[in-house]
Amino acid sequence: MKYAHEVIDLLAPYPGRQFRMADIVRYVAPNAQGADRQRVRNGVLRVLESLADNGSVAVEPAAYRGGFATYAWQKVPHELSHKCHEKCHNIGRALAP
């Protein structure tokens, strides 16, 4: 995917923050206009759909006709738990109390 790296660079550092499509396209190609902007938008949309299918991105559809959808990087489960060391399986040993 052509714009995957740029989209992930924008969304991943801010898990849970919602971005509009226009913000993402502006980040990926700030000087694109007209048909070029539409091509970038279609490429970004493909990346976002793929990430949403994967479970990495949450998509909130437009609330009303003419509104805009928002896209947010999903928080991983161990970021949601404050006691990650009790439940997380990422380490090979038990932590000392």
The model's pTM is 0.75
Domain boundaries 4-87, CATH class: mainly alpha
Supply the pLDDT for residue 60: 94
Residue 79 pLDDT more than 70?
A: no
Supply the pLDDT for residue 82: 56
Residue 96 pLDDT more than 70?
A: no
Closest by CA to 20, choosing from 50, 59, 46, 52, is 59
Chain segment 58-73, per-residue pLDDT in tens:
999 999 999 999 999 9
